[in-house]
Amino acid sequence: MAVVQDVHGHVHGHPTGIMRWIGATNHKDIGTMYLCFSLTMLFIGGFLIMGVRAELFMPGMQIFEPEVFNSFTTLHGLIMVFGAIMPAFVGFANWQVPMMIGAPDMAFARMNNWSFWLLPVAASLLIGSFFVPGGAAAGGWTFYPPLSTQGGLGVDMMIFAIHILGASSIMGAINIITTILNMRAPGMTLMKMPMFVWTWLITAYLLVLVMPVLAGTVTMLLTDRHFGTSFFNAAGGGDPVLFQHVFWFFGHPEVYIMILPSFGIVSEVIPTFARKPLFGYSSMVYATASIAILSCIVWAHHMFSVGMPAAGQLFFMYATMLIAVPTGVKVFNWTATMWRGSMTFETPMLFAIGFILLFVIGGFSGVVCALVPVDIQVQDTYYVIAHFHYVLVSGSLFSLFAGAYYWLPKWSGRMYDETLGKWHFWLSMVFFNLTFFVQHFLGLAGMPRRIPDYALQFADFNMISSIGAFGFGLAQLLFVYIVIKCLRSGEKAPDMPWDGAKTLEWTHLPTPAPYHSFETPPVVKF
Amino acid sequence: MGSKLLSFWVGVMVLGFYSGSAVSSKYNLPEPQTIIAQQIYDQHIWALWICLVIFIAVFGVMGYSIVKHRKSAGYKAANFHHSTTVEIIWTAIPCIILIFMAWPATKTVIAMKDTTESDITVKVTGYQWMWGYDYLQGEGEGIKFYSQLATSQSEIHNETPKGENYLLEVNNRLVVPVGKKIRIILTANDVLHAWWVPALGVKQDAIPGFIRDTWFTADNVGVFRGQCAELCGKEHGFMPIVVEVVEEQQYAQWVADQLKTAATDANAAIINAAAK
Amino acid sequence: MSQATEHYYVPAPSKWPIIGSTALVFMGFGAALTMNKLPLGYSLLGIGFAILVFMLFGWFGEVIRESQKGVYHAQEDRSFRWGMTWFIFSEVMFFAAFFGALFYMRTFSIPWLAGEGVGGVDHALLWPDFTGDWPTAGPGFADNFTPMGAWGIPAINTLLLLTSGVTITLAHWALQKNDRSGLKLWMLATIALGVTFLGFQIYEYGHAYADLNLKLTSGAYGSTFYMLTGFHGFHVTLGTIMLIVIYFRSAAGHFKPEHHFGFEGVAWYWHFVDVVWLGLFIFVYLV
Ligand code: HEA
Ligand code: HEA
Ligand code: CUA
Ligand SMILES: [Cu+2]
């Protein structure tokens, strides 16, 4: 096909060699690096938790010292959240946002590069901390003091890693906001933007709102550890619970940072494969915004057992439950989009439907957690673990798979193997539920989280869960195989592999997308 | 419509079976031993029912359209994409449902906070890694002891077979009388811990430097077990809680024994000190 | 293409980000080692810092050269404005965390420690002698200190910063009227005010440590006082450095009356620092 976009004047061409990646200013190259990085981190975080699941396979201590076990859990949480899921979404934003709004690139291309290249720095601090005296941080990904005031060098490395990750996220978010606000093609008004772009705009606002607070939090922890301040020390007038407030003021919006772009991806995939426009576009936008706003006033639902005054508990309970309403609107809109569509079920669609099904289960267990009395029982148990893996793994991760299969043809110009893709979906689906569904029971029956050994009545479910986890992990190897196979020997993709796709990257660009797209803005008519 | 109805009834039966048989099984919360625990239990089941109904409604519709509205079945796509009425309805209904969930929860929250008029007050202190109990007021005032994991290292390291209460046994149990309101005052000595006994419906973090309180009134005698529920370092998984609820006169007997040994210990200490 | 100059400027691959990352590898490991009193810490930290400074010079130098070449047009200019706006917003949130901590301690934790809340049991059991009057070093620290009064140096500093807000605006007006000497004059005045502010602050810290026994380790009051004023002072330092850069750029003839985002970005930042100071003056010194 004619690569019209490559005709340009003084604009530099196609950089090659190592500097193409190290110095990259092209949003597609940076997006690719983000995605590769995040896949690597998924494997590292997954590897850690496979160790945990192996230890939990049977009662008794088999593999780990308790402290090492705790550091595996801790680093699993941190690496998955900051290393796998968040960068993956930023990778999608890098690839897709400029193409979907008709922009030539991200607004700040060089800063974009730095946002990425900060990640390996942080990762090296996190992973390196396993090898220093005292070992890695072992206070959970929430690193509550005073426990985290006790740790050694590993905790400080984690703190600096978080500072750097925060800087990376803030720069990334500013870049995305600016790109969306300032670089849209003529005619692309805000209310015509694809849902994915909208969800990212709102996510980016959440990021600039809460990442600096996290930076402040870890800074206070650092000075408490080494410079004698008393933010989290009762003897000096501080309070360990203060940490939890500031941490969760970041932490709760953070979980929506990890789900809103998912909603965006699913809102692109469903209409395409239902061959029918997204139902209730504007209410989707408002629902996303409401979720983001509400997410800033619910943080203390992670702290129902710290002994807040009743008024506080009630306020946070009501606010939390309210989030079910806009989220419900989204689910209903997706259902209505599918209703009377003309559906086909390629892998992206399967993952999107799997996403809705399992995310709703995770949402329901979230609402159960939000009921203060019930949360008093399930807080810090495997019930919570089950809740958030339903929203994070079968939520965020599944939507990422949906998006990856959906856009892989656009990115690479080749088709993935549909049969293998379906295998990947069904294996993931089965093993995922095997792993995490039984954890609801474990939690209800009283198994606390973050323990390396457990009482005998929890034995059979833990074994099932571990088997499921190994199966789920192996199924992800299939994904890597599918991607490699697609890149090396996949069939050539047609310009429009999905007949229902309506967004600019499909309608206005050839497949694969040229290295420089939309150097002259397209004219967008709807 | 048939498949929808069928799945509805299957779901109802599964959950009905679940809520009937799950009492005191490993699929659900342990059998409640206090009013609060009972309310929690009921609210959990109530929430599950609501979720099940919504689940069936949503995925019934979605399942139907997945089966019927597929391209391979020759279905042609409609082109609607908006309906304000529908949107308002499905915003309003969840709001109403949520009120029905929040209402009973609100009453329980308020009840949980009412620690007044207790018969016995016990101060519980979390240590890395054991619990300290301190009877502050009421019958048994003055009793103090520490409570530590009683499971042997050889069981933990798979050298000897694991006993029935593996990891859930302690050297000194917290003993309380049945039917009396027990107020628990919590603090911690080093890091956060959480004192949790599921059957009693009590979980409260222990925070160094601060005091928090909670309460329970056990309805039946028995031994109820729980664990520390806040990550507190390497032995976090190894600091269980055992509460023994006994009849009143048995409790009086226990108190007398405890105070006597405490007194002899104290005497011995004085004599020892004098001898030096 | 003829309208190539209309294109949004996408820079060529750049080495600066990776240099910055290298700096942070050194600094991250170095700082962690230093704080745990392990060998090599200071050297790594020093190397990292040197690389960082080199990177900042290089990167900003490149941006300035590009700007002088005229590659930034209206759309790029808008990008810079959005970028700076949200960067400043993120800084506001950073300070919000510390203001939040101050607020929480004063309204919640300290009264609780003094026995408010759970029927006064806190008081009897844990900290019987603690009254919870602000300012305090907390119930567990015996050290006595004198709090920092508001009407001495802090009030002078408030005046200095407020004045500097005016002078930088005067400089901006001068720039808009293309009055280059006015621009330079008012810039110099702003810088002088900033430096004086910092001088006073250093003096104040010395005074606090030497005479008032007020230290970073003085419990709640010491922690919040030093962290808030300290981070603010750090931002004033950065702002002053930025002002100095802008001064030299003005002297070198950069900036046009209708196109001078570099100047405005720094001015915004300076105003932000100013506003934060007002918050500090009220909540840390006054009430
Ligand atoms: C992607 C991440 C994600 C998402 C989207 C959510 C979504 C929600 N979460 Fe979750 N949560 C986490 C990630 C996430 N959570 C994590 C990581 C933790 C643990 C952190 C840690 O401690 O380590 C956690 C913990 C957590 C807790 C604390 C548990 C504890 O520690 O004791 C609570 C309590 O309220 C909670 C509630 C909710 C609620 C109400 C939602 C809602 O947003 C869900 C809304 C969705 C639905 C309800 C389904 C669809 C709606 C309908 C079909 C409409 C009709 C429904 C009704 C009327 C009910 N979550
Ligand atoms: C953000 C996303 C995210 C993701 C994607 C995952 C993915 C998984 N998580 Fe977890 N998890 C968290 C976030 C996430 N998690 C958080 C925040 C915590 C809390 C931490 C804390 O308490 O502080 C947690 C805690 C947590 C626990 C509780 C640990 C404890 O309390 O001690 C468990 C236990 O089962 C668990 C399991 C899993 C499993 C089996 C997967 C699987 O989905 C992983 C699958 C992936 C792989 C396995 C890698 C790929 C494959 C290979 C490397 C090939 C080799 C495979 C084999 C050898 C089989 N996670
Ligand atoms: Cu004590 Cu966990
Ligand atoms: Cu939350």
Quickly tell me which residue has 């019209």 as its tokens: A4
Distance B239 CA to ligand 3 centre (A): 6
Which backbone phi and psi does A252 adopt, to 5 degrees?
-70, -50
Which ligand places an atom closest to the C-alpha of A140?
2
- Does residue B228 line the site of ligand 3, with CB under 6 A? yes
If you average pLDDT over every residue of chain B, what do you get? 89
pLDDT at B261: 87
* Close Cβ partners of B88 (under 8 Å, ≥ 6 residues apart): none
Q: How far apart are CA B48 and CA B52, in angstroms?
A: 6
User: What is the spatial distance between Cα C255 and Cα A437, in angstroms, rounded to a whole number?
Assistant: 63
Contacts of C184 (CB under 8 A, 6+ apart): C247, C250, C251
Give A68-110 pLDDT, tens digit per residue: 999 999 999 999 999 999 999 999 999 999 999 999 999 999 9
Please check whether residues B134 and B11 belong to one and the same domain: no
CB-closest option in A67, A377, A454 to B29: A377
User: With 0-12 CB in 10 A as exposed, 13-18 as middle and 19+ as buried, what is C147?
Assistant: middle
Q: For residue B272, what pLDDT band results from cuts at 50, 70 and 90? A: confident
Looking at residue B25, its pLDDT comes to 65
Summarised one tens digit per residue, pLDDT across range C168-204 is 999 999 999 999 999 999 999 999 999 999 999 999 9
Residue A3: pLDDT band by 50, 70, 90 thresholds?
very low
Mark which of B52, B79, B112 sits at the end of a domain.
B112
Evaluate whether C1-72 and C74-286 have a shared fold: no
Per-residue pLDDT for B21 more than 60? no
- Residue-wise pLDDT for A358-390, tens only, equals 999 999 999 999 999 999 999 999 999 999 999
**Residue C12: what pLDDT?**
87
Q: Which ligand is nearest to the CA of A319?
A: 1
Rounded distance between C-alpha atoms, residue B44 and residue C41, angstroms: 53
What's the whole-number mean pLDDT along residues C65-72? Answer: 89
C209: its two tokens: 């440590």
Domain C1-72 falls under CATH 3.40.50.300: no
Please state the domain count of chain B.
2
Its CATH class, for the domain covering C74-286, is mainly alpha
Q: Which helix (H) or strand (E) holds B226?
A: strand B222-227
Contact yes or no for C17 and A114 at CB 8 A: yes
Q: Which protein residues are within 6 Å of ligand 1, measured from CB?
A: A 142, 255, 258-259, 301-302, 320, 323-324, 327-328, 331, 360, 363-364, 366-367, 369-370, 375, 378-379, 384, 387-388, 391-392, 395-396; B 54, 58, 94, 97-98
C136 touching B, CB under 8 A? no
Residues 6+ apart with CB under 8 A from A203: A89, A173, A256, A257, A260, A261, A292
Tell me, yes or no, whether B270 and B133 share the same domain. Answer: yes
Q: Which of residues 79-138 of A touch C (CB under 8 A)?
A: 103-105, 107-111, 113-114, 117-118, 120-122, 124-125, 128
Amino acid C157 reads N
Mutate to test the interface with A, among B44, B56, B62 (most CBs of A within 10 A): B62
**Chains in contact with A, counting 3 or more C-beta pairs less than 8 Å apart as contact:** B, C
Q: Which of A329, A361, A367, A393 to mutate to test the pocket of ligand 1 (most atoms within 8 A of CB)?
A: A367
Are B174 and B241 spatial neighbours (Cβ–Cβ below 8 Å)? yes
* Bond prior to B30 in cis (omega within 30° of 0): no
Give the whole-angstrom CA distance, residue C118 versus residue B184. 12
DSSP C144: -
Please name the helix (run of DSSP H) or strand (run of DSSP E) that holds residue C4, with its range, or none.
Answer: none
- Measure C126 CA to nearest chain B CA, in Å: 7
Q: Which residue segment(s) compose the domain that B41 sits in?
A: 2-112
Helix, strand, coil % (nearest 5) of chain C? 75, 0, 25
Q: Tell me: do B270 and B134 sit in the same domain.
A: yes
Three-state secondary-structure class, residue B127 = strand
What ranges in B69-83 are assigned the alpha helix state H?
A: none
Predicted pLDDT of residue B264: 81
Q: Report the range of poorest mean pLDDT among A72-86, A118-132, A421-435, C141-155.
A: C141-155
Q: Is the CB of A85 under 6 A from ligand 2?
A: yes
Question: What is the ipTM, given to two decimal places?
Answer: 0.94
Check pLDDT > 70 for residue A263.
yes
**Residues 221..260 of B with a Cβ closer than 8 Å to A: which?**
226-238
* B9 and B87 together in one domain: yes
- The answer to whether residues B161 and B35 belong to one domain is no
Interhelix angle C261-280/C153-176, rounded to 10 degrees, is: 160
Question: Could you tell me which residues come within 8 angstroms of residue A501 by beta carbon, excluding any fewer than 6 positions away?
Answer: A272, A507
Residue C87 has pLDDT above 90, yes or no: yes
Span A203-213, average pLDDT: 97
Q: Which tokens hold the place of A282?
A: 């504007």
Give the closest residue to B207 by CA, choosing from A243, A363, A341, A523: A243
Contact A272, A403 (CB under 8 A): no
Mind listing the pLDDT tens digit for each residue in A457-475?
999 999 999 999 999 999 9
Q: What is the mean pLDDT of residues A283-297?
A: 96
Residue A17: pLDDT band with limits 50, 70, 90 = confident
Whether A369 contacts A375, CB under 8 Å: yes
Judge if B224 and B146 occupy the same domain. Answer: yes
Report the nearest-CA residue for atom 1 of ligand 3.
Answer: B193
Beta bridge partners of B203: B196
Mutate to test the interface with C, among B211, B212, B213 (most CBs of C within 10 A): B211
Query: Residue C112 pLDDT > 60, yes or no?
Result: yes
Across the interface, do A217 and C97 touch by the CB < 8 Å criterion?
yes
pLDDT > 70? residue B276: no
Stretch among A11-15, A71-75, A346-350, A392-396 having the lowest mean pLDDT = A11-15
In this complex, which of B58, B156, B230 lies closest to A61 when CB atoms are compared? B156
* Residue C142: band (very low, low, confident or very high) from pLDDT cuts 50, 70, 90: low
Q: Which among B110, B166, B204 is the nearest to A456, CB-wise?
A: B166
Pocket mutation for ligand 1, best pick of A327, A329, A377 (most atoms within 8 Å of C-beta) = A327
Residue A146 and residue A155: Cα distance in Å, rounded? Answer: 12
Q: Is the pLDDT of residue A295 over 90?
A: yes
- Sequence-separated (6 or more) residues with CB below 8 Å from residue B261: none
Q: What is the pLDDT of residue C3?
A: 38
Residues 6+ apart with CB under 8 A from A253: A206, A209, A210, A292, A295, A296, A299
Q: Which atom of ligand 1 is nearest to the CA of B55?
A: 53
pLDDT at position B12, please? 64
The stretches of A296-417 forming alpha helices (DSSP H) are: 310-322, 324-338, 347-370, 372-378, 382-391, 398-412
Q: What confidence tens digit (pLDDT) does each residue in C12-22 have? A: 889 999 999 99
| Mean per-residue pLDDT, B143-170 | 93
Ligand that lies nearest to the alpha carbon of residue B56, given by its number in the listed order: 1
Give dist(CA A316, CA C235) in Å, integer: 35
Are the CB atoms for A162 and A93 separated by under 8 Å? Answer: no
- Is the Cβ–Cβ distance between C190 and C270 less than 8 Å? yes
Domain boundary among B91, B112, B133: B112
Inspect the interface and report whether the beta carbons of B212 and C113 lie closer than 8 Å. Answer: no
B205 and B163 in one domain?
yes
- The reported pLDDT for the residue numbered B76 is 86
Taking an 8 Å cut-off on Cβ atoms, the answer to whether B210 and C125 are in contact is no
B264: burial class by Cβ within 10 Å (0-12, 13-18, 19+)? exposed
Q: What local confidence, expressed as pLDDT, does residue C5 receive? A: 43
Average pLDDT, rounded, for chain A? 94
> What pLDDT score does A11 carry?
47
Q: Cβ–Cβ of C126/B213 closer than 8 Å?
A: no
**Is B210 within 8 Å of C126 when comparing Cβ atoms?**
yes
Task: Specify whether B168 is located in the same domain as B53.
Answer: no
Residue A435 has pLDDT above 50, yes or no: yes
Q: Which of A201-205, A226-230, C148-152 has the lowest mean pLDDT?
A: C148-152
**Amino acid of residue A357:** L
Strand pairing partners for A492? A414
Same domain for B131 and B104, yes or no, is no
Q: Which of C119, C126, C139 sits opposite B187 (nearest CB)?
A: C126
Task: Classify domain A19-507 at the CATH topology level.
Answer: Cytochrome C Oxidase; Chain A (1.20.210)
Percent of chain A with pLDDT over 70: 97
Q: Give the side-chain half-sphere CA count within 13 A for B135.
A: 21
Q: What is the mean pLDDT of residues C36-40?
A: 89
Question: Cβ contacts of residue A480 below 8 Å, gap of 6+?
Answer: A39
* CA A70 – ligand 3 centroid, Å: 13
Residue B149 DSSP one-character state: B
Sign (positive/negative) of CA torsion C69, C73, C77, C79? negative
pLDDT for res A499: 85
pLDDT of B14 strictly over 90: no
Domain boundaries, chain A: 19-507
If asked whether residues B143 and B70 sit together in one domain, one would say: no
Whether residue C125 and residue B187 make contact (CB cut-off 8 A), yes or no, is yes
Contact by Cβ (8 Å): C242, C272: no
Residue C3 to residue B259: CA distance in whole angstroms? 95
Enzyme catalytic residues of A = 76, 105, 141, 168-169, 252, 254, 256, 267, 301-302, 327, 330, 449
Same domain, B216 and B134: yes
Judge whether residue C121 has pLDDT over 80.
Answer: no
**CATH of residue B258:** 2.60.40.420
Q: Is the pLDDT of residue B222 over 70?
A: yes
How close is the nearest chain B Cα to the Cα of A370, in Å?
Answer: 9
Last residue in a domain, options B112, B131, B159:
B112
Domain extent listing, chain C:
1-72, 74-286
Q: Are A275 and A342 in contact (CB under 8 A)?
A: yes
Tally helices (H) and strands (E) across chain B: 5, 10
- CA A451 from chain center: how many Å? 25
Please give the share of chain C, as a percent, with pLDDT higher than 70: 95
B157-180 mean pLDDT: 94
**Is A449 near ligand 2, meaning CB less than 6 Å away?**
yes
Amino acid at B111: A
User: What pTM value is reported for the model?
Assistant: 0.94
pLDDT at C118: 63
Measure the CA–CA gap between A508 and A99, rounded to whole angstroms.
9
**Whether B137 and B266 share a structural domain:** yes
Which pLDDT score is estimated for B235? Answer: 94
